[in-house]
Structure 1
């Protein structure tokens, strides 16, 4: 469920602005998109853009312009925020780009009461020129923004889980992360406002939520107040995920235990490197001892724990990656992800690779062709050349499957025959294909997990 688009849609709903929503990942073919654009002839068509596969978005926009030439095109998201005017330079069919927090900018654009040049956070065309009006001040009071109700979203196309955010922004300086390029200060919703969103969906029968903050546990006391409110409002049988990642240096046993009591069942840790040398180069600002201690505590408390690693960061050696693999295997974690590092333009990692002429694939190609879960390196280093990178990425992906296979086996250990069959299915990739690529089977799998964990 795309929460960012949900916030934009809610602004339109609240101001009686008609809109339709299409999720091209699951909802429609390009032919259907063109058909609906032709039928609706909207005044404005908006696209959320990621830097990954940005050229595919450009192609889609050009196709739409062919059938609906009088519709204005607006783009938003990380890619537009980072590149601003260049997005309109690269794609002549784009008319506007909305920068950073888009709720107020898109409203002014739709209502048409404010001149383009006076609409902060907007890139627009003025004749042959492309103008940027300057940054809009971040929304300081997030309670001003109505949380998404997804009125025009087909919720049956998504898993039975609602994404929620209690805060926006990040205070950390990791070299690989594009979030700090977005110039978004860390801001929080009030506890009452955040709880109102959970309660809204709880009354509709929803029990599973994904807390998608970048820094949910940054303020320990605030998290404890949220826990107290969940308990006070008697919101029982919740299944809360912090799988986007929480900082290991921002949790302790007491905090995690309290989170577990009120329904947090899954936590993710961005480990990224297996020892302090790698963490230092990545500017993580935490030690491997702190990270490992948090993992151990979370596993001891019975959380489903996810770990995220990078494989082959600048200065990282094969021995360093072996440290990551050892940590991934050391504890009964639910899942690990070993990601092929993709240097995003503007990040410190990107500038380092560029300055040292380490690219194997030009950025305009790898951003549109290579995924983080593939064994295709986009740069090499003296410590790890291309051939070694391919080999170790494949090894790490085998470890991912090993960890997941063990997790599934533990889940069904009370039923030995079924556990054996599932383990065998996993070896040939059938279980993974059925339960992680199919929404129908994934929902069944999630219901089994939910009931098992609630009973536990």
Structure 2
């Protein structure tokens, strides 16, 4: 099975912004392309960078920092910048402990990076720093004021995917290369486990319909020939009217794409789902989180189990596949509520389901809760992986060795049953679905269903 790689949309936006600004760029997605540090340094020795922007995430932060340290020793005159939700949440700690980092960009980096590069070109960083940055100014770490979120998303232009090998971006739901297209940023909800607000804020900002259509028609398809898209948004269906207008425009322009995105279960709108289907949407991912109403209340999800059930039912009626995510280990979790969630997943019977350990990321209320209650049993950031099977927190009343087996057992209970086999049989009659099921199925079997695991 091919390795799943996610398109680096923020890097692509940064490449587009600074490329259009007249700067000479080198852009690397080392994970997707399999580029080693040695390969990169051989290229950099000739290029001699003046500034470097490094994307970071929690499960790779240790490796990220080690890379930046090695990079800085080799290119001492290069201004090193890191960004991402992890360094946003822990910006002062990151700067104080890692002298080889010159700047942390907090929250979304695009507009801040433009001002930062302009200041570096002028040869002087203001004494008060640059809004949105925690940086070294005259030998001191300066925490500047937050930058206000820019509502003009159209001004970002389009991601510069020409710097990336698109064939490396593979996901089994497409079984073909794909890219991301961002329709909006931000989410108004208060889920205690989500890091989205650290990056894009708590106010939803929309791109214009014309801009999204232009990107799909002339950039994604016209320039790169790609017709598989992840419509990226923190809460894609937060405005049903916006979604309806976008889908109508895709249909009217006869833009032939296959895409997927997310929806909250309190945004059930049959007309919207029908238009999404007609515009090429074949799957919606749903953050179900738990089958227990009290846990949903405790995590401030703002939904109820019946909302999840009704949404899956409506999507099946409309003809859009559903992928429901559940988190095991949220506040209030017990052995009984875990079983309740697994039973609930079988009852609502979505097309796909994924069970993840609930992971407390820095900057979230969930992180503060588990630390205050001394429930953290693993402090190695390497293991804070969304979509993995390793628990980093304790669930009261459930032994750690039992927790490590819970995820695989949950998958087996859901997928290895006659009711689900019937769903697969009906869907496998469609050629495109058959190929998708084969790709998805092999991955699931290897990860969770194989008797050797």
Q: After superposition, what is the alpha-carbon deviation per residue over 1:348-404, rounded to whole angstroms, capped at 9, x for unaligned?
A: 211111111122123xx1x22343344432121324342442332331243466489
Counterpart residue number, 2:149: 138
TM-score between the two structures when normalised by the length of structure 1: 0.85
2: CA distance, partners of 1:268 / 1:422:
19
Is 1:196 equivalent to 2:214 in the alignment? yes
Does the residue aligned with 1:125 lie in a helix, a strand or coil?
A: strand
The 3 A distance-change label for structure 1 pair 370 and 149 is: closer
Does the residue aligned with 1:175 lie in a helix, a strand or coil?
A: coil
Counterpart residue number, 2:167: 156
User: For 1:87, which of 59, 82, 94 is the aligned residue?
Assistant: 94
User: For 1:26, which of 17, 32, 49 is the aligned residue?
Assistant: 32
- Count of aligned residue pairs for this structure pair: 423
1: CA distance, partners of 2:145 / 2:245:
37
1: CA distance, partners of 2:10 / 2:438:
36
8 Å Cα contact 2:125/2:137 also seen in 1: no
1:78-227 residue pairs with structure 2 within 5 A?
78-111=85-118, 112-113=121-122, 115-116=125-126, 117=128, 119-159=130-170, 160-182=177-199, 184=201, 185-200=203-218, 201-204=220-223, 205-227=225-247
TM-score between the two structures when normalised by the length of structure 2: 0.86
Uncovered stretches (5+) of structure 2, i.e. residues with no partner = 1-6, 171-176
Counterpart residue number, 2:386: 372
Is 1:239 equivalent to 2:258 in the alignment? yes
2: CA distance, partners of 1:163 / 1:183:
16
1:33-432 residue pairs with structure 2 within 5 A?
33-111=40-118, 112-113=121-122, 115-116=125-126, 117=128, 119-159=130-170, 160-182=177-199, 184=201, 185-200=203-218, 201-204=220-223, 205-235=225-255, 237-242=256-261, 245-331=262-348, 333-362=350-379, 365=380, 367-399=381-413, 402=416, 410-413=426-429, 426=442, 429=445
Q: After superposition, what is the alpha-carbon deviation per residue over 1:280-337, rounded to whole angstroms, capped at 9, x for unaligned?
A: 1111001111111001111222222111000121211222222322233335533221
Q: After superposition, what is the alpha-carbon deviation per residue over 1:409-442, rounded to whole angstroms, capped at 9, x for unaligned?
A: 5554579xx99x969x949946999xxxxxxxxx
1: CA distance, partners of 2:166 / 2:184:
24
1: CA distance, partners of 2:313 / 2:365:
31
Uncovered stretches (5+) of structure 1, i.e. residues with no partner = 434-456
2: CA distance, partners of 1:203 / 1:227:
19
Counterpart residue number, 1:9: 15
Q: How far apart are 1:203 and its partner, in Å?
A: 2.6
The 3 A distance-change label for structure 1 pair 361 and 272 is: same
The 3 A distance-change label for structure 1 pair 299 and 414 is: closer
8 Å Cα contact 2:86/2:363 also seen in 1: no
1: CA distance, partners of 2:247 / 2:349:
26
Range moving further from structure 2, 26-35 or 404-413: 404-413
Does the residue aligned with 1:151 lie in a helix, a strand or coil?
A: helix
1: CA distance, partners of 2:221 / 2:242:
21
8 Å Cα contact 1:257/1:301 also seen in 2: yes
8 Å Cα contact 2:53/2:82 also seen in 1: yes
2: CA distance, partners of 1:397 / 1:120:
46
The 3 A distance-change label for structure 1 pair 432 and 26 is: farther
The 3 A distance-change label for structure 1 pair 183 and 234 is: closer
Does the residue aligned with 1:269 lie in a helix, a strand or coil?
A: strand
What root-mean-square deviation, in Å, do the aligned CA atoms of Structure 1 and Structure 2 show?
Answer: 2.8
